[in-house]
């Protein structure tokens, strides 16, 4: 039995397997691919995931796809759009099963047919607006009672291996509420940031394609009436910057992640600059233009929340989007309402939800008397 927590982000999947040291990050991109040639240089399976996923949880029962970094190189690739529900789309399930298979292939043992079967306790979640619409039960059911199999096709190291994923237990949490759990609980389940308890707070999760605004009540529950979200995240704005930089300088920033590195670089020589033919070029005007537009929109949402629920005591901004928007939001806030806005470290901002799911799973096992000491520490 193995423990896993998976945050299926629109931009990227984040997961922990077995313990907090063993994490996994896969960009949420897939592309259909029947066959492909493995290039000699490919050594790391994560950079070249090619799998066949067969599952009763998929609308299209079986798919041969490349996933993650490799899919980013395919012209016909699919990224999610904000209109698609995570609970009802195939792509999140494909990513989830692929991530589990990558773990299982390293930790399970093959039977005489060469099939690796590994049972999991899985903790995952859905955005607030989907849990509000009651999508949790169905999503849990299709994972827990389904048949799932992943075969590695042209993936280095794992080619030809088949994994059967079984779920002993699936916990489906709410993303925003999970963040609250992370803020108030240590890895071992004890209370942290005690001063947050008993206070109404707002948690804004600014993701790739969406913003989830969860109001947590004094009683530590989600305020279903006032919590809402935006179908906007930071990805579109990052893509705009990449496009503008190309149009102006014929210079290609390869990925959003690379752009984020340029934006948050602490070295003033490097921050908001590209280098072309040995020349240092500032792209700050494009970055400012795009990110302040988004920051204004996010700030409008924050104001609306405070207007509707005046006794919110503080607001945490999390998610990858909060990392790049931080200076812009803070600037607007200083000249506007001076709300108590809080930010966390970049790393925590991105990994908070996945970590929360793992903590919730540990607490669940503890409450059920399931001994996880061995599983958490053993390979
Ligand atoms: N360590 C990091 N520092 C700063 N920005 C990051 C970091 N990692 C990712 N990002 C950027 O933040 C954006 C959103 O990331 P995040 O992982 O929060 O979204 P997501 O959870 O996948 O999306 P959603 O919440 O909409 O489902 C992405 O565009 C990504 O490039
Ligand atoms: Mg997210």
Work out the average pLDDT over 365-378.
Answer: 75
pLDDT in tens, 63-87: 999 999 999 888 888 877 777 889 9
Count CB atoms within 10 A of the CB of residue 40.
Answer: 7
pLDDT in tens, 185-220: 998 888 999 999 999 999 999 999 889 999 999 999
Q: Which residue has tokens 């827990």?
A: 144
Ligand 1 nearest-atom number relative to CA 10? 27
Ligand 1 nearest-atom number relative to CA 86? 27
pLDDT at 378 over 60: no
CATH code, 2-178+352-377: 3.30.420.40
Residue nearest to atom 6 of ligand 1 (CA): 320
Taking the C-alpha atoms of residue 179 and residue 355, their distance in angstroms, rounded to an integer, is 9
pLDDT in tens, 287-322: 999 999 999 999 999 999 999 999 999 999 999 999
Domains of the chain: which residue ranges?
2-178+352-377
Taking the C-alpha atoms of residue 200 and residue 270, their distance in angstroms, rounded to an integer, is 40
Confidence band for 238, pLDDT divided at 50, 70 and 90: very high
Q: Which residue has tokens 């503890």?
A: 366
Taking the C-alpha atoms of residue 74 and residue 44, their distance in angstroms, rounded to an integer, is 18
Rg of the chain taking only CA atoms, in angstroms? 21
Q: How far is CA 188 from CA 86, 198, 210, in A?
A: 30, 21, 30
Q: Which residues contact 208 (CB under 8 A, 6 or more apart)?
A: 9, 10, 11, 12, 28, 233, 234, 235, 256, 320, 321
Q: How far is CA 321 from CA 10, 206, 211, in A?
A: 12, 5, 9
Residue nearest to atom 12 of ligand 1 (CA): 320
Taking the C-alpha atoms of residue 261 and residue 195, their distance in angstroms, rounded to an integer, is 33
Say if CB 30 and CB 71 are below 8 A apart. Answer: yes
Share of the chain above pLDDT 70, in %: 98
Pocket of ligand 1 (CB under 6 A): 9-12, 205, 207-210, 233-235, 238, 256-257, 260, 264, 319-321, 323-324, 346, 350
CA 287 to mean position of chain CA atoms? 23
Taking the C-alpha atoms of residue 218 and residue 327, their distance in angstroms, rounded to an integer, is 29
Taking the C-alpha atoms of residue 130 and residue 92, their distance in angstroms, rounded to an integer, is 14
Residue nearest to atom 20 of ligand 1 (CA): 9
Helices (H) and strands (E) in the chain, counts: 11, 16
Q: Which of 19-28, 75-84, 156-165, 294-303 has the lowest mean pLDDT?
A: 75-84
Say if CB 124 and CB 6 are below 8 A apart. Answer: yes
pLDDT in tens, 111-148: 988 899 999 999 999 998 899 899 999 999 999 999 99
Please provide residue 338's backbone torsions phi and psi, each rounded to the nearest 5 degrees.
55, 45
pLDDT at 42 over 90: no
Taking the C-alpha atoms of residue 300 and residue 303, their distance in angstroms, rounded to an integer, is 5
pLDDT at 43 over 90: no
Ligand 1 nearest-atom number relative to CA 238? 29
Name the burial class of residue 328, with classes exposed (0-12), middle (13-18) and buried (19+) by CB atoms within 10 angstroms of its CB. buried
Ligand 1 site-directed mutation target among 208, 239, 240, 253, most atoms within 8 Å of CB: 208
* Coil/strand/helix, residue 72: helix
Taking the C-alpha atoms of residue 322 and residue 207, their distance in angstroms, rounded to an integer, is 8
> 174-193 burial string, b = 16+ CB within 10 Å, else e?
bbbbbbbbbbbbeeeeeeee
Structure tokens at 158: 């794992």
Q: Output the pLDDT for position 374.
A: 58
**Higher local confidence (pLDDT), 164 or 78:** 164
What 8-state DSSP symbol labels residue 155?
Answer: -
Residues in a beta bridge with 150: 53, 163
């Amino acid at each position: 039995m193995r423990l896993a927590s998976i945050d299926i982000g629109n931009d990227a999947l984040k997961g922990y397997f077995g313990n907090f040291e063993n994490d996994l990050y896969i960009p949420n991109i897939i592309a259909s691919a029947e066959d492909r040639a493995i290039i000699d240089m490919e050594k790391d399976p994560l950079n070249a995931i090619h799998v066949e996923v067969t599952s009763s949880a998929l609308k299209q029962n079986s798919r041969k796809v490349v996933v993650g970094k490799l899919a980013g190189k395919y012209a016909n690739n699919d990224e999610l759009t904000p209109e698609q529900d995570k609970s009802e789309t195939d792509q999140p399930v494909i990513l989830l099963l692929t991530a589990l298979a990558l773990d299982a292939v390293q930790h399970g043992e093959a039977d005489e047919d060469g099939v690796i079967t590994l049972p999991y306790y899985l903790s995952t979640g859905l955005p607030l607006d989907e849990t509000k619409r009651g999508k949790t039960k169905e999503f849990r059911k299709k994972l827990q009672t389904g048949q799932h199999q992943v075969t590695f096709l042209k993936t280095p190291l794992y080619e030809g291996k088949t994994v059967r994923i079984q779920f002993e237990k699936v916990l489906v949490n709410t993303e925003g509420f999970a963040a609250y759990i992370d803020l108030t609980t240590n890895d071992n389940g004890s209370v942290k940031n005690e001063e947050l308890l008993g206070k109404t707070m707002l948690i804004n999760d600014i993701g790739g394609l969406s913003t989830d605004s969860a109001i947590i009540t004094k009683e530590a529950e989600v305020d279903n009436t006032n919590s809402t979200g935006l179908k906007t995240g930071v990805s579109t704005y990052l893509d705009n910057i990449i496009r503008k930089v190309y149009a102006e300088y014929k210079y290609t920033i390869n990925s959003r992640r690379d752009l984020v590195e340029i934006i948050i670089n602490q070295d003033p020589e490097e921050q908001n600059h590209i280098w072309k033919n040995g020349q240092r070029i500032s792209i700050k005007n494009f970055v400012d233009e795009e990110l302040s537009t988004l920051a204004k929109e996010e700030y409008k949402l924050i104001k609306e929340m405070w207007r509707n629920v005046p006794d919110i005591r503080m607001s945490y901004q999390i998610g990858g989007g909060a990392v790049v928007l931080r200076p812009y939001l803070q600037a607007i806030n200083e000249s506007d309402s001076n709300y108590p806005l809080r930010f966390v470290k970049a790393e925590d901002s991105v990994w908070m939800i996945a970590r929360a799911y793992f903590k919730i799973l540990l607490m669940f096992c503890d409450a059920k008397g399931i001994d996880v000491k061995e599983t958490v520490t053993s390979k």
